[in-house]
Structure 1
Amino acid sequence: MFQLGFPKYLKDDVAKVIGLTADKTWNNSRYDISEDFIHYWQNNRAVVFPYRIYSIDNSNEIEDILNERQKMILHCIYSRSSDGYVRQKHLRSLLQMDYEDWAIPYIVKICDEYVVEILEMTYGILKDQDTERIKFFCSENREEFCKSYSRMISYWNEFYRPNYYKFHHYIGRKLFRECFGYSKSMER
């Protein structure tokens, strides 16, 4: 389910992490992943991973036996959790690491979702960092990235407009423009 979400040279690390993640799902769901998948390109390689996973987060039980790269994989996988608190926890951990380029699709994808606290946290961590690698990834996936920007706007409009009446004050806009490199010219 996640092998296509990481470079081939990480195959053994991905298999180890997946083998250690919980088999138990939220509300005893009979599905452990969603039917929808995210599709990006990175370094001329397709990157494909589930939109959501429904596995219970058992990362506290297994992190100590993982190396740094495997922990990074674990955080990427759980950033797709159906639980927003789990997504935020793992994204925070990922952003605090010296993450590799293959983790960038997971970072970008989570930021087009509806949890404003995740956007605030992400912006707070990235605003003072060099985000050129993320900007390059976003430009490499221009069409998908512009869809993500539009999706972020629709969530602002639906849920956060009363608190951020002017869109240019919204944290999602700041994140996408300052840290991810969005500009109107990308839509042309």
Structure 2
Amino acid sequence: MPTTLGRAFPSGLRASLSEALVAMPRPLHAPSGDITSSYSRKWPEITVGGEPVEIPYRVYNPVPSNRVAPEGSQATVAVDCLYTRHHDGFVRQQALRRVLRFEQAWIIPFVVQLLGEYVIEICEDIHGFVVRDLPRRPAMVRGLRSFVTENSDFFTLTELRATSYWACYYRSTHLYRDTYPAMLALKAMRDLAA
């Protein structure tokens, strides 16, 4: 199991993450799919720094009662990234808020993926981060630029998923698609990456 979760990150990190991944509580179920799966179609792989990663669509590990790695370490950030894939939306949001404090480029696919999902409060958190904090983080903007360039199909897929959730669930509160927080965040990311 930890080996599978380790593939969500670039290979240069995997050795330093192995202890934290083993220390995570055992899952209730195996992770489901990966974030590029879309019904019967498999989208192109996601790459970070030119290296393919396999990020699970959902994980079912209970939330740890104790830290599984030292606070602020790459292992802690990686575990929080994995919990952004948790089956419980409240857990995903809490993990995201911790992840957004860091600037590693490899967190970007975890953040982008959340914009193609249905929890509007998470999309609002990301939109706030993108407009307030991200422009002041040049290293992360460079990472975003690289990610969008390398993964344009995935970014487009995320926009399509966000549009679908807007049309299905949020059209009554956000009359225009361009006012939906996920679309605002994705547009701001594209603008920063341009």
Q: Bin the TM-score by the shorter chain.
A: 0.7 to 0.9
Find the aligned partners of 1:37 and 1:152 in 2 and give their Cα distance.
14
Residue 33 of structure 1: aligned partner? 31
Structure 2 unaligned spans of 5+: 37-44, 136-140
Corresponding residue for residue 93 of structure 1: 98
Cross-structure match for 2:26: 23
Aligned residue identity for 1:125: F
Using the size of structure 1 for normalisation, the TM-score is 0.85
What is the total number of aligned residue pairs between the two structures?
A: 177
- Decide whether the 8 Å contact of 2:24 with 2:68 is kept in 1: no
Q: Aligned residue for 2:39?
A: none
Answer 1 or 2: higher relative contact order, Cα 8 Å, separation at least 6: 2
Are the aligned partners of 2:47 and 2:53 in contact in 1 as well (CA < 8 Å)? yes
Tell me, in whole angstroms, the C-alpha distance in 1 between the residues paired with 2:71 and 2:156: 35
Q: CA shift at 1:24, angstroms? A: 4.6
Query: Structure 1 182/141 Cα, relative in aligned 2: closer, same or farther at 3 Å?
Result: farther
* Structure 2 residue 186 is the aligned partner of structure 1 residue 164: no
Q: 1:162 to 1:132 in 2, by over 3 A?
A: farther
Consecutive unaligned residues of structure 1, counting only runs of 5 or more, are: 26-30
2:74 equivalent to 1:69? yes
Contact 1:88 1:118 (C-alpha < 8 Å) held by counterparts: yes
**Structure 1 residue 13 and structure 2 residue 19: aligned?**
no
Q: Residues 95-174 of structure 1: matches in 2 within 5 Å?
A: 95-97=100-102, 99-128=103-132, 129-130=134-135, 131-174=141-184
SS of 2:67's partner is: helix
Alignment-derived partner of residue 79 in structure 1: 84
Taking structure 2 as the reference length, the TM-score comes to 0.82
For the 8 Å contact 2:32–2:59, the answer to whether it is kept is yes
Instruction: Please state if 1:176 is matched with 2:170.
Output: no
Aligned with 1:119: secondary structure?
Answer: helix
Q: Cα RMSD (Å) of the superposition?
A: 2.2
Paired amino acid for 1:62: R
Identity across aligned pairs (percent)?
24
